[in-house]
Amino acid sequence: MWLATLGIFDITVRGGLWECYKHDYSNGVAMEDSRCAQRIYFGEIALSLPFNPPKEEVNPNDLSFLFLGNSLSGYNHLDEMVLALFREQGGKGLNGHANTYNPPGEDFISHLDIANGKIGNYVWNGFGPTLKNWLKPDDEKKEDKDKKYWKWFIWQNSSLQPSYWDSPKSEKQEEFIQSAMAANTLNQKMATNFPDSNTLLMLTWAPKGPTSEAPDYEGYLVTQERINEGYRVYRATTSTRERPTYIAPVGLVYQAIYEDDVQAGILDPTNPASGGLFSKLYEDNFGHTTLMGSYIQALTVYASISGSDVRTITYQPPTDILPQDLVSMARERVQRTIDETAADGSVQYVWQ
């Protein structure tokens, strides 16, 4: 079934088959070297994008983050946790800052609208600058408080929109198409205004259970797999050879924790009484997370950017809510997911 034309790409989604070939960009001749393009197949149509771009050294003393998301990624001061992890690596003198724009219910489509000023002067959580001002290039910013340079855009879509690429409802497919087009347009704006920046898509975690917002919910694993595929489309439509988009595989970490619980004999990891780690990640069925869930998000973002082993860090949120055995388990699972996805090429990281 034809979905749409996204920018210059014609995409047909038919099962989501993903393959990678190594080839010379100039003539397509197969080569055993690092010039590798990921060809993403949806039916007959293939997209090519960089698979193994040049390694970029991350300087912990030159980091600034703009988190774009919604209430799912807005819990528990995620931006501050990520910055704290990098401060542990780079020291208190780290030259960095983090800001968050995460109104409830926002998605890629509304992020673009707000960045273009289509929803007025909408300000969230009392921040002075709007998202539109934050994304202006420095020479257009008039007030000192607005003068920020972003090294990393950490970007998260709503919980279910990425899964709609495979929806039987045409209006849901159209919503997904519009979200991919919005991601491409806004990412171009980021790249133009902040040419040395990177975009990191924070792969969303599926709802834990049915909600009023998801009347057609088919279960956690089915929904998560569809979200995973949707984010691969987002990466494809936003990446260029000069500026590839990266993914922080938070949803994959959550999925791995779910599967670990099943392997441990837990029949329903979503049950709060199950005793497993997965059940401790969510505040509610829709996907708002506990402190543990947010801590795992922060660890995954940190590892995706830095390449550092999260099992060696000491930082955790200053609270006695997180038992040390669960903290250690969470760090181990995050690192295993990062290592596995880096090894099999299913996720490409800036430090590879």
Residue 231: how many CB atoms within 10 A of its CB? 26
User: What tokens were used for 244?
Assistant: 């590839």
- Least Cα distance to 131 among 189, 209, 72 occurs for 189
Task: Quote the strand ranges of 136-197, DSSP E.
Answer: 152-155
87 falls in which pLDDT band (50, 70, 90)? confident
Q: Above 70 in pLDDT, residue 238? A: yes
Element (H, E) at 21: strand 17-22
Average pLDDT, whole number, for the chain?
77
What is the distance between the alpha carbons of residues 160 and 164, in angstroms, rounded to a whole number? 7
Residues 280 and 274: their CA atoms lie apart, in Å, by 9
Greater confidence (339 vs 165) lies with 339
Nearest to 298 by CA among 323, 327, 272, 325: 327
Residue 102, pLDDT score = 79
Q: Bigger pLDDT: 210 or 154?
A: 154
Distances (CA, A) of 218 to 221, 230, 274, 304: 8, 16, 21, 30
Sign of CA dihedral 234, 237, 240, 243: negative
Give me the pLDDT at residue 132, please.
75
Residues 6+ apart with CB under 8 A from 154: 65, 66, 67, 68, 69, 82, 200, 202, 248, 301
Mean pLDDT of 119-142: 58
- Which residues make beta-bridge pairs with 211? 214
pLDDT at 40 (0 to 100): 32
- The length of the chain is 352
Q: Sketch out the chain's domains with CATH numbers.
A: 1-53 (no CATH), 60-344 (3.40.50.1110)
Identify any residues that bridge with 40 across adjacent strands, giving them in sequence order: 18, 47
pLDDT band at 133 (very low <50, low <70, confident <90, very high): confident
Mean pLDDT of the region 105-112? 86
pTM of the model as a whole: 0.80
Q: What is the pLDDT of residues 22-50, one digit of tens each?
A: 222 233 333 333 222 333 333 323 333 33
Lowest mean per-residue pLDDT among 74-83, 174-183, 339-348: 74-83
pLDDT beyond 60 at 127: no
Going by C-alpha positions, the residue among 72, 40, 68 that lies closest to residue 232 is 40
Quick one: pLDDT at residue 336?
98
More confident position, 143 or 324 = 324
Judge residue 28's burial from the number of C-beta atoms within 10 Å of its C-beta, 0-12 exposed, 13-18 middle, 19 or more buried: exposed
Q: Which two tokens stand for residue 31?
A: 């080569």
Which residue has better confidence, 251 or 8? 251
